[in-house]
Every structure is written in structure tokens, then in C-alpha cells.
Amino acid sequence: MNWLRVISLTTVFLLLVPIVVLLYYGLGPFRTPAGYTPGVFRSIELSLFSSGLAAVIDVVMFTPLAYYLARGKDPLTESLVDVPVGIPHPIIGVALLILDSPLTPTGRFLLSFGINFFNTILGLVVALVIMSAPIYIKSMQPYFESRDPSAEEFAMGMGASRIRVLISIVVPDSLKGLASSSMIAMSRALGEFGSISIIAFYVLQYPFFGVNPASVTVFQLFNGAIPGGLNAAVTASAAMILVALPITLAGHLAGRRR
């Protein structure tokens, strides 16, 4: 008997037990209409929109950093990338709140240009980018490291800069990797709660005026701030899992086909 396989599958099972139990009760014994109201679906829609936008920003802004770490071997920068996910997530929300507060010079400067993070789509997306970007970078970095660098070295030998090589050669040849890593980052953004519960507990902008992100809605249902109670929270959680699970699986399957 392959005991390593047995132990590995057992630990995977232990990780999945809470999810399976939640799906069973959320779609079965605890299922209640209060868990799939239009408000719940609007919150899921907001989370999908904001996390998808955050994933796009991750690709545009942080692909160069992932490539730099893959080719540059900068241990200090690589360690700094992990800082946002290595501290309690509400701290990120508090940091953004202070950064954009009218009580601070940075906040007054940003607000003078109409840049407001508090309870806005912008603040929600910024928080999700900060929390998902390290996941995206850590997914793309080994992909870039596994690439044969000969074409890149040839182009640089012909006078192309490293950034031009990235844009002209590496990115067009890495679309599957970019798609896989962005979906993994989007999944991480969908599951965020700590930071957004501080900076964007609900959104006060069209077309999501007064809508909570999905994770906040589940919390509101659970603590009774939104009528429904435990059964509604379990039902809404099951619905959120059904939305997030295909994105996570698609990201990992795309990664396996690189």
C-alpha cells in the first residue's frame, strides 16, 4: 500500500470536509429562501465584478514584477511581496482608511482629486488587489522561471530591452499562464473579508448602491444584521461556493495544461 498517497488523500479530505458539509446543509436541510434573495445575488454580483476587475489589474500591474523576480533573483523584493498576506487582513483595511482619511496629508491630497476609498468600488477593488496580487505573483513567477530563456536572450542580444522582451515575446507566449494565475487571484479576491469589511463594508455608488460584498453579506446574515439567521448564512455560503468553485478549478486546470 502506498501510505504516502493514503496520508495525502486523507489530509485533502480533511480540508474539504467543511466545504462538503456546508454544501450539503446549504442546499439541503438548512436551505431557506432568505439565503438566496435578490440582495444576496446582488452581493455575489458585486464580488464577482470587483474580484474580476482586481484580477485584471493584477495582470496589468504585477506581471512585470513576477517576471523580474523570475529573472532577477531579488530575495528582498520577493520577501516584501508576501507582506500583505502575512499580516492580519483587517490591518490592510485600516491602512487604506488612514491613507485616504481627511485627517492625514495623504488623504487630503487624494480627496482633492476626488479619490475616495471608503465604501466605494475603488476602495473595494484596491483592497482586493493588495490581497490577491501576492497570490498572482507567486503563481506567475515559477511559470516564468520554467520558460526557456534562449529567445529572450537572443532578443536582448539584438538590442531589445528587458521590458520590450516581456511585452513582445514573453507575454504573448504566456497567455495560458496569465489566465490561470489571474483566475487563482480572482478566487482569492472572492474569498476576502477582513480588509473589505473595514474599507468597503458596503458600496455607495451606482450600480451597487447599498450592496455589501458577498463575504460581508454572509457575515451580516449570520449575526442577524440582515434577517435570516444561521440557515440563511449557510444557504448564501453554499451559493457563493457554487460560484467560486468553478473559477478556482478552471484556474488550476489551466495551470496543469501550461
User: Per-residue pLDDT tens for 165-197?
Assistant: 999 999 999 898 999 999 999 999 998 999 999
- Res. 255: pLDDT tops 90: no
> Phi and psi at residue 120, in whole multiples of 5°?
-130, 165
Q: What is the DSSP letter of 169?
A: I
Q: Give pLDDT, residue 257.
A: 52
Q: Give pLDDT, residue 1.
A: 65
What does the pLDDT average to over 94-108? 93
Q: Give pLDDT, residue 160.
A: 87
Q: Give pLDDT, residue 256.
A: 61
- Res. 217: pLDDT tops 80: yes
What does the pLDDT average to over 147-156? 88
Q: What is the DSSP letter of 34?
A: G
Instruction: Work out the pLDDT band at 123, boundaries 50, 70, 90.
Output: very high
Averaged confidence pLDDT in the chain: 91
Question: Could you tell me if 40 and 236 are in contact, meaning their C-beta atoms sit under 8 angstroms apart?
Answer: yes
High-pLDDT (> 90) share of the chain, %: 70
Q: Give pLDDT, residue 228.
A: 81
214-223 and 38-72 helices, crossing angle to 10°: 130
pTM for this structure? 0.91
Query: Using CA atoms in the order 128, 130, 134, 140, what is the torsion angle rounded to 10 degrees?
Result: 70
pLDDT digits (tens, 9 = 90+) for 43-88: 999 999 999 999 999 999 999 999 999 988 788 998 899 898 889 9
Half-sphere exposure of 215 (CA within 13 A, CB side): 21
Task: Set out the domains of the chain in order of their start, with CATH numbers.
Answer: 34-256 (1.10.3720.10)
Half-sphere exposure of 137 (CA within 13 A, CB side): 24
Q: Give pLDDT, residue 111.
A: 93
117: nearest Cα among 92, 86, 154:
92
Nearest 5°: CA angle at 99, between 95 and 101? 110
